[in-house]
A = this chain, B = another copy of it.
Amino acid sequence: MTEKRIYKPKSIAGFPEWLPEERLVEQKWFDHIRRVFESYGFCNIETPSVEELDVLTAKGEVDKEIYVIERLHKDPDEKKEARLALHFDQTVPMARYVAMNFNELVFPFKRYQMQRVWRGERPQMGRMREFYQCDIDIINVDNLPISFDAEVASVMYEVLEGLNIGKIQLRISNRKIISGFIEDWGLPNGTEILRILDKLEKVGEGQTFSDLEKAASYTGAGGAFTPARILLDLAKIKAPTSEEFKKQFSNLHTIPNTPKLQDGINELCSVLDNLSHLPQGAVVADLSIVRGLDYYTGTVYETQLLDVPEFTGSVCSGGRYDDLAGSYINKHLPGVGISIGFSRLFDVMRQTRPDLLGIGPKSPAHVMMVVPENETDRPIAAEAARTLRKNGNNVEMYHAAKKFGDQLKYASKKNIPFVWIVRDGKHEVKDMTAQTQSAADPKTWKFKA
């Protein structure tokens, strides 16, 4: 044995994996998220891990790092194929899927997707290179009711609220409002202004103000004018209800009157009104939220974990877009969607709040069946295990006719909550937490969490 060549494996940076007891909690998270998504009627799709590289880059240069795949051994005579690459998100694959299956789908198409995505980050960045995202989107042909902008937010609030990760705050804005200002004033550096506002929370008011003074200048009827103050005041609006939002908004020094801006206000207020069933403080209109620069056209969302400062940035983000799949099909498909960066959230919680996660059991078993020391009684124990399973219990049969004490030790090492004993035809169940033992009937016994 010592002569054997051993290759000692190392973990690969950016490709996380969990121990069984951690994975058990991760599975519970996925189950919960799926349950909430389905309770709103979202259907699931899965796309392949790869797309043609041309599909991934059809919209133009991609700002995410891409992994391409290649066969290790290529035959010299093989037919040339399209280059394939691992998908870096679930939006591009969904757009391709909707375009390809357009005639088979029922619109509005409400779908959820929970798959791994890959980013070819440089190894030294310490970022995840393979991780799960959980996305919901609603796509329609030509136009999509604004009520869906509230629905996706409501779904994600319910998802996060059920994960036991402390208080959640959904921050919502509408891109049309700030764009309305910028366009009406004819500010030339619109993208730059959005970029500056996006950083407000990070860099603070003073810096933002001076950055805005440089970027935003306006030449109107009355001469040159720099609306840095108004833009900053706008971005500082934080309002839990539509009434409060309207009040704060009307306090702004100057408000252009344009249809786009008015649309944005109406949409934002409608979303807030349709989320009024959520607890106080769960939702806030926050006009500093911008979310990327090109993609979103209306509602935008970010989500803060109020009780987990170790988690920086937004855990769940998204927004409304005008044209999902224009690169692949000649149809106008507006949509609204929101996405949880699942793996980073799980990893931060796993590392900083293992207590909240409930990491413990190393097995899904509810019951460990004791194997009788007398081998002839083994079939009776096996039969009892089968009966218990039929009632929906998870039962691990111990593996050898060892001493009772050894068998108990194994159950407690794995954190299995109950142990079942059949002796002289009598059934007893031992509660490993309470350390009590009592007669029980395998035909009716049912594990309760």
> Interface of A with B (CB < 8 Å)?
1-2, 4-12, 15-20, 23-24, 27, 38-55, 58, 65-73, 75, 78-79, 81-82, 84-86, 96-97, 99-101, 104-106, 108, 110-111, 116, 118, 120, 122-124, 130, 140, 145, 147-148, 151, 274, 277, 326-330, 332, 362-365, 368, 382-383, 386, 389, 392-397, 399-400, 410, 413-414, 416
Q: Name the residue of chain B whose CB is nearest to the CB of A143.
A: B400
**11 A-B pairs (CB sep. < 8 Å):** A8-B329, A9-B55, A12-B50, A19-B101, A19-B105, A20-B111, A24-B43, A65-B72, A67-B70, A274-B382, A277-B382
For A399, list chain B residues within 8 Å (CB): 108, 140, 145, 147-148
A50 to B43, CA, bound (A): 29
Among residues of B, the one whose C-beta sits closest to the C-beta of A150 is B382
- Complex CA–CA separation, A75 to B120 (angstroms): 11
Assess whether B78 is in contact with A72, with CB atoms less than 8 Å apart. Answer: no
What is the CB-to-nearest-CB distance from A310 to chain B, in angstroms, rounded to a whole number? 24
Contact of A9 among B2, B78, B104, B328 (CB under 8 A): B328
**Complex: chain B residue closest to A54, CB-CB:** B7
Q: How far is the CB of A176 from chain B (nearest CB, A)?
A: 21
Number of copies: 2
Q: A19 and B104 in contact (CB under 8 A), knowing A48-B12, A130-B50?
A: yes
Shortest beta-carbon distance from A306 to chain B in Å: 24
A103 CB to closest chain B CB, in angstroms?
11
The answer on a CB contact under 8 Å between B45 and A326 is no
Q: Which residue of the partner chain, among B6, B12, B110, B383, contacts A327 with CB atoms under 8 Å? A: B6
Interchain CB contact under 8 A, B44 and A24? yes
Known: A40-B395, A41-B363. 9 other contacts (CB 8 A): A6-B328, A7-B55, A19-B101, A20-B43, A20-B105, A41-B364, A43-B363, A69-B69, A71-B120
Residue of B nearest to A378 (CB): B147
B71 close to A70 (CB less than 8 A): no
Query: A49, A124, A368 — which one has the most chain B CB atoms within 10 A of its CB?
Result: A49
Given A17-B46, A48-B16, residue A79 in contact with residue B145 (CB < 8 A): no
Residues of chain B lying within 8 A (CB to CB) of residue A97 = 17
Q: Within the assembled complex, what's the spacing in Å between the Cα atoms of A97 and B382? A: 30
Contacting pair B39 A332 (CB below 8 A): no
Select one of B52, B78, B326, B362 contacting A43, CB under 8 A: B362
A44 contact from B12, B23, B328, Cβ within 8 A: B23
